[in-house]
Structure 1
Amino acid sequence: MDTAHLRLAVDAARAGAAELMSRRDHRVVKEKGPKDLVTDADLASQKAIRDMLVGAYPDYAFVGEEEGENDPPANVRAGDPDAPPCWVVDPLDGTINFVHRLQSFAVSIGLYAAGKMRLGVIYDPTRDEMFTAIDGQGAHCNDQKMSASGCTAIDESLIACSFRAG
């Protein structure tokens, strides 16, 4: 994948995030299942992202978390090298945090092709942080190259994780 795909994914993430932020104070929340929430913001964000990505690449597959679009075509699932590339989208990664007005949520977009993830974008609209990566080209935050700390000892490192309640 190339920078044109990455620029499109970045623009789509910003469009999705704009939908999230416009509904942050006035959202409609429903349960998809026990402890599995969806908001009107999730749906609007996915639509904005889908419209941009599919509009630019109509022959690519699209998998989104919402509205029954979460099952990739069989040839994509099988890693068939002739399968079309597939956009993989979580329009609101961190719905519980969003519903509770916490700042830890993001828009996540990936492009899967020929059996592996080729690029990824994660945008945190509350901090205006855009994380991007293209397979084999490293990762960036707001266009600044990221690198590992070089820490090799577990007792000198910081590890953080989150566990779902209940």
Structure 2
Amino acid sequence: MDWSMVDQLVQKWLVEARGRILTSLQQRLTIESKSNANDLVTNIDRETEQFFIEKVKDHFPNHRLLGEEGFGDDVQTLEGIVWIVDPIDGTMNFVHQQRNFAISIGIYEEGVGKLGYIYDVMNDELYHAENGKGAFYNGEQLPILQPVELKEAIVGLNTTWVVPNKRVNHERLIPIVKQARGTRSYGSAALEMAYIAVDTLDAYITMRLSPWDFAAGMVILKELGGICTNLEGKPLSLTDSSPVVVARPGLHDELMNIINR
């Protein structure tokens, strides 16, 4: 596969999708709830996912696509080439603030991340990476992440503690909040992972994410030495939801020691 060619296509499609989303902001949104009243979806989420499905199937009919809104393929394994797409990560922000949301795309071949894109639509900021070639912010290559101690770190923290069929003891995270220099919550997992890439955040912790939330960020942060695991320190599954701990090297070990103390 000519990944440079794919990269050029994806960046072109992202710009086109941005134009469609900006136009939609001038129109009335159709807003619905999914699993609960706070799990929102709009017609733009669905239309944007269908836009990428059409582009992928037209150019790469043998590729499969796993999308948040369910219009793609029934992906149970990562055999072949799989696109993992969140058309709007941060839908609540999109609905209420019209900012702090992103398009997130991770492309995997036989389970290996090849390309990753997190596109901050409103700010026209693109974070992307190609396996083995580094990570970039608006075309400028990013440096490898350097270690930092928790006492000097800003930690992104999602305060939703409930995992399906399980309640996570949030007391495990209290020492992190107390010891960190500061905590933040932006309401978009993709952007919070992107912010680690550019040193705006040093870590991100959440009790529940789906593959389309972190697939792109994993590709980007791997190129920079960032570490992405579940609460047990094991690799994240791209076919299941999971708690997620993402951090700079060194800091990740410190966080895991606290969480599993």
Task: Pick the structure with more helix per residue.
Answer: 2
Identity of matched residues, %: 28
CA–CA separation in structure 1 for the residues paired with 2:116 and 2:123: 18
Look up the match of 1:57.
60
TM-score by length of 1: 0.84
Aligned residues: 159
Does the Cα contact within 8 Å between 2:64 and 2:73 map onto a contact in 1? no
1:156 aligns with 2:165: no
Look up the match of 2:6.
5
CA–CA separation in structure 1 for the residues paired with 2:34 and 2:105: 21
1:141 aligns with 2:137: yes
What SS does the aligned partner of 2:122 have?
coil
Write the mapping of 1:111-126 to structure 2, written as runs, cut at 5 A: 111-126=107-122
The farther-off stretch of 135-144 and 152-161 is: 152-161
CA–CA separation in structure 2 for the residues paired with 1:97 and 1:70: 27
Does the Cα contact within 8 Å between 1:107 and 1:123 map onto a contact in 2? yes
CA RMSD between the two structures: 2.1
* 1:153 to partner: Cα distance: 2.4
Does the Cα contact within 8 Å between 2:31 and 2:43 map onto a contact in 1? yes
Note the residue ranges of structure 2 that are not aligned, 5 or more in a row: 163-261
- Counterpart residue type for residue 85 of structure 2: V
Structure number with greater Rg is 2
TM-score by length of 2: 0.56
Given candidates 82, 86, 90, the residue that maps to 1:90 is 86
Does the Cα contact within 8 Å between 1:27 and 1:41 map onto a contact in 2? yes
* 1:94 to partner: Cα distance: 0.6
Deviating beyond 6 angstroms after TM superposition, the runs of 4 or more aligned structure 1 residues are none
